[in-house]
Each structure stands twice: as C-alpha cells, then as structure tokens.
C-alpha cells in the first residue's frame, strides 16, 4: 500500500431512501426484521404509514448523520407505476413529494446534506429555484437537487397537454432550466435589493426579481442521473455529483474515465464533479453468513410473481401462464409490446432474452432463479472488514468518488453499516471522523460558486 505516492482519496457517502422499488424489503424501525416482501402478486403489505411515515425518513436520516454521511437522497416518481392496469403495491401506499420531506428533515438534522430528485421536464425554473433556495436557507446550506429529465410519456400524461417532450429536447430544456435557476440564484449576490433577471431562451422566458436573498451555498449542489451521451455531457458541463448505476469495478472505471475526461472542455477540474454509484451491501460475521443473507434477500426480492413480472418487462407480452419454477419462454420478445408503465424501456429486449435463455440453459436455472441471478445483485457482500476494504479499493482505483448506499431493509438497513463499516473506513483514513464544515458543498469538497458582481 505504502508504495502509492498519491494521497488516499476520501470516500463520500450518501444514504438513499429506497421507498418504492421492488428490491426494498420493509422492516419496522429500528429492528432489522423484515415485515414484508413487496411487488408482484399479493405479498403481505407493509404496514400503511411505513413508507410515508415521517419516522421512517427520520430514522434513516439520523442514522446517516450519526455516520457522518455527506447527504440523504430521495428519488422521485411522478406517476404511480402500473402493470396490466394494476398499480404497484408499494405505489398504492403513496409517494410523498421530495422537497417537502427534506424540509421536514432539515429540522431534525444539523449537518447532513439533503438531496431531492426533481424533474426538469415537469417543472418551471422560477418556482423550483425558489423551492430549492428555500431548502438551502432553512437547512443552513445543505440542499441538493438531482436534476432528472424523466424518460416516459406515461408520466407526461399527468402533466402535459398532448404528450411528451421529445427525447432530443429533454436535455436542452434541462440545461436551460439549470442555467436559468442559477441566474436567479445569482441575482442577489450580496443580499441587497433584488436585481431584475431577464432570461430569454428557446424553452423559458423569465422576467422579474427573484424572491429570496442568496442562499448559504450560493448554488445548491446539483446532482445528475442520466446515462446517455447527452446526459453525461450535461453532467460534465453543469453538475457537482453524478448518481450512476455503473456499480461494477470495470464498468465503474470506464464510466468514471469517460465523464472526467469531458470536464476540461468546460474549464472544470476532475475534483469538481463527484461520481457516486448507487450500491447495495449485505454484512455478516463471516463471509459465508453474508453470502447466505444475500441469497435470502434476493429470494425475498424476487417472489414467483415478481419473477414473471420482471420477465414481462423484457418480453413485452403476458407471461402469466408460465410456471416461475419452469424454463424460460421459447417465444421471442415483442419489442413493441406493452411493458409495465413508468419503467425505463429496455433498449434491446431480444438481446436480453437471448442472454437470459443462454444463462438458464447453461446453469439449469428456472425463470425465478434466472431473474434472481440477473437482477438485484448486491454490490458489496461480506464481513465489515472485507466490505470496507473493497469499497476503499473501488474508490482508490478511480471507479468512483464514493457511494450512494441503497439499504435493502428500510428504514433500519443502514444501521449496521454505520455501526460496523464506517469505523473501519475511518481507521483506514479514508472517511471523516467529524464534520468539518456546515454546508453540503464543503462536505463534498466542491468549489464555492463565483459570487457575481452587482451590475446596478
């Protein structure tokens, strides 16, 4: 280890509140005992309230702050997902609005960053800039905005008259949206009288004075979570953090290098943009115990019904007559078939189907076993020591700057990580032992945005 002349990179950590996906196993705080397996068929329902109950958010946020995490993260879905006309079980229980939850969390935390996902496609810059600046004021400089572009017309039906923004326009709108928000945030540099903002662009015309004085961070932290070339370019030009799905070592390194190499064109340094994959973890006292727990979690996540639903995402046709414990369908996917609504469409279903069939034949796996094998794999499985070592190696080899942890159990799933892995990362000298600043920007080591001079 001592032969590497580079200083060891510090790891950044965030806690994702995973309320509404089918990989979350709900548990009552603060126990780690699962109360339900969600999604598909009729599993026992999580007790109403767990997912919209403030105590759940508070538990995870307080745990993350106890662990000195950089930020707490909320995803957002703007339409309840459905499949064959049935709303997903977890969505039935409710999907609260991110910034409202974060404002409430600001009151029960002191240093933890508070990051909310809000779509640039279905909002307006003035109003959203105001809401995010409000969070930044109320929290003393801890606000972050995950600028997503939201990919489907199904969601658009809740918002737009007659359909959806073209794919090609999503990022031009997002870029102009963010630039406009920053013009508004910059319009009152010294807290004095408001200066008039005059913005005219292809997507927005905004003329008026911003409602709030400059917020503690000046520019709240901006996160980006899209993977296309346009998404990466947008992140390189304007984001502070990328939330990515590239959580494997090799894929992570390739993504990391690709994005960091785009930065100089925008006059930015590699350290100005942090790359944080979403990852999962399973801990055990021994490696074997952790593997066993990981396998059990995967079985809970992929019930027989969930296995068939997952397959239908790929095949695009009704597969309800198939036996989840039997072989994969011989029929080919219908690329134009109906998929679960509110989910990202798979680019090449035929290729995925072929790969899954080959895997199932090679290993003799049933439908359910194939789905368990191909989806929901945990990123870090092992003893606290091995997980700390692997995470450190991952960051030091430039596959990431840190992680957005997605616990399987909600809301108590982060507790063992904070109790057992954080101290080991601290011992390795790669994670803070106290908060040194008060703003999220300072936790992340991001530059202060330039303070524009007053023009009037």
Ligand X SMILES: Cc1cc2nc3c(=O)[nH]c(=O)nc-3n(C[C@H](O)[C@H](O)[C@H](O)COP(=O)(O)O)c2cc1C
Site for ligand X, rule CB under 6 A: 75-76, 117, 119, 148-151, 225-228, 230-231, 243-245, 278
What is the smallest separation between the CB atom of 246 and ligand X, expressed in angstroms? 9
What is the smallest separation between the CB atom of 151 and ligand X, expressed in angstroms? 4
Q: Based on CB atoms, which residue is closest to ligand X, 241 or 319?
A: 241
Look at phi and psi of residue 41 and say left if phi exceeds 0, alpha if psi is from -120 to 50, else beta: left
Q: Based on CB atoms, which residue is closest to ligand X, 141 or 342?
A: 342
The residue written with tokens 């309840």 in the block is 80
Yes or no: say if 253 and 398 are a contact pair by the CB < 8 Å rule.
yes
What is the smallest separation between the CB atom of 332 and ligand X, expressed in angstroms? 25
Q: Based on CB atoms, which residue is closest to ligand X, 193 or 344?
A: 344
Q: What contacts 229, CB < 8 A, 6 or more positions away?
A: none
What is the smallest separation between the CB atom of 164 and ligand X, expressed in angstroms? 11
Q: Based on CB atoms, which residue is closest to ligand X, 228 or 286?
A: 228
Q: Based on CB atoms, which residue is closest to ligand X, 265 or 344?
A: 344
What is the smallest separation between the CB atom of 11 and ligand X, expressed in angstroms? 19
Q: Based on CB atoms, which residue is closest to ligand X, 148 or 446?
A: 148
What is the smallest separation between the CB atom of 293 and ligand X, expressed in angstroms? 25
Yes or no: say if 334 and 340 are a contact pair by the CB < 8 Å rule.
no
From residue 332, give the alpha-carbon distance in Å to each of 140, 182, 229, 316, 356. 55, 48, 30, 10, 12
Q: What contacts 339, CB < 8 A, 6 or more positions away?
A: 312, 313, 316, 345, 346
Yes or no: say if 69 and 42 are a contact pair by the CB < 8 Å rule.
no
> Which residue's CB comes closest to ligand X?
226
Torsions phi, psi for 29 (to 5 deg): -70, 145
What is the smallest separation between the CB atom of 278 and ligand X, expressed in angstroms? 5
Q: Based on CB atoms, which residue is closest to ligand X, 79 or 368?
A: 79
Q: Based on CB atoms, which residue is closest to ligand X, 67 or 231?
A: 231
Q: Which of 197, 149, 146 is nearest to 173 (CA)?
A: 149
What is the smallest separation between the CB atom of 299 and ligand X, expressed in angstroms? 25
What is the smallest separation between the CB atom of 104 and ligand X, expressed in angstroms? 19
Q: How many CB atoms lie within 10 A of CB 159?
A: 14
Question: At what angle are helices 367-374 and 287-301 packed, to 10 degrees?
Answer: 120
Torsion sign across C-alpha atoms 34, 89, 372, 73: negative
Q: How many CB atoms lie within 10 A of CB 411?
A: 29
Q: Based on CB atoms, which residue is closest to ligand X, 216 or 220?
A: 220
Q: Based on CB atoms, which residue is closest to ligand X, 150 or 187?
A: 150
- The rounded distance, in Å, linking the Cα atoms of 429 and 438 is 21
What is the smallest separation between the CB atom of 281 and ligand X, expressed in angstroms? 17
């Amino acid at each position: 280890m001592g032969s590497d002349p580079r200083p060891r990179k510090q790891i950044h950590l965030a806690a994702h509140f995973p309320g509404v996906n089918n990989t979350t196993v709900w548990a009552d705080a603060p126990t780690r005992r699962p109360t339900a397996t969600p999604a598909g068929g009729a599993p026992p329902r999580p007790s109403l309230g767990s997912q919209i109950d403030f105590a759940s958010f508070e538990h995870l946020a307080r745990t993350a702050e106890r662990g000195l995490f950089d930020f707490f993260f909320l995803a957002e879905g703007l339409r309840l997902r459905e499949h064959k006309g049935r709303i997903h079980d977890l969505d039935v229980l409710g999907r609260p609005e991110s910034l409202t939850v974060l404002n409430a969390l600001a009151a029960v935390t002191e240093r933890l960053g508070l990051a909310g996902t809000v779509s640039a496609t279905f909002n307006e810059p003035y109003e959203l800039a105001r809401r995010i600046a409000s969070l930044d004021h109320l929290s003393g400089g801890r606000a972050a905005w995950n600028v997503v572009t939201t990919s489907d017309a199904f969601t658009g039906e809740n918002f737009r008259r007659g359909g959806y923004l073209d794919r090609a326009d999503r990022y031009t709108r997002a870029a102009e949206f963010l630039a406009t928000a920053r013009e508004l945030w910059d319009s009152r540099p010294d807290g004095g009288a408001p200066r008039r903002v005059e913005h005219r662009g292809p997507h927005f015309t905004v003329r008026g004075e911003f409602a709030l004085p400059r917020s503690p961070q000046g520019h709240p932290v901006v996160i980006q979570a899209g993977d296309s070339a346009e998404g990466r370019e947008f992140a390189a030009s304007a984001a502070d953090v990328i939330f990515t799905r590239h959580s494997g070592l090799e894929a992570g390194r390739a993504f990391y290098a690709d994005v960091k190499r785009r930065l100089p064109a925008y006059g930015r340094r590699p350290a100005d943009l942090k790359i944080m994959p979403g990852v999962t973890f399973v801990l055990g006292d021994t490696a074997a115990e952790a593997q066993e727990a990981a396998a059990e979690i995967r079985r809970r996540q992929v019930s027989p019904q969930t296995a068939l639903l997952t397959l239908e995402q790929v095949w695009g046709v009704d597969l309800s007559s198939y036996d989840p414990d039997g072989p994969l369908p011989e029929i080919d996917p219908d690329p134009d078939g109906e998929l679960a609504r509110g989910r990202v469409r798979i680019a090449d279903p035929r290729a995925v189907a072929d790969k899954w069939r080959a895997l199932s034949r090679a290993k003799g796996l049933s439908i359910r076993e194939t789905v368990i094998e191909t989806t929901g794999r945990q990123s870090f499985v092992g003893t606290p020591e091995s997980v700390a070592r692997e995470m450190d190696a991952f960051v030091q080899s430039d596959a990431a700057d840190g992680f957005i942890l997605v616990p399987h159990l909600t809301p108590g799933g982060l507790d063992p990580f904070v109790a057992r892995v954080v101290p080991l990362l601290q011992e390795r000298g790669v994670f803070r032992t106290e908060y040194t600043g008060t703003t999220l920007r300072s936790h992340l080591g991001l530059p202060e945005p330039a303070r524009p001079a007053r023009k009037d």
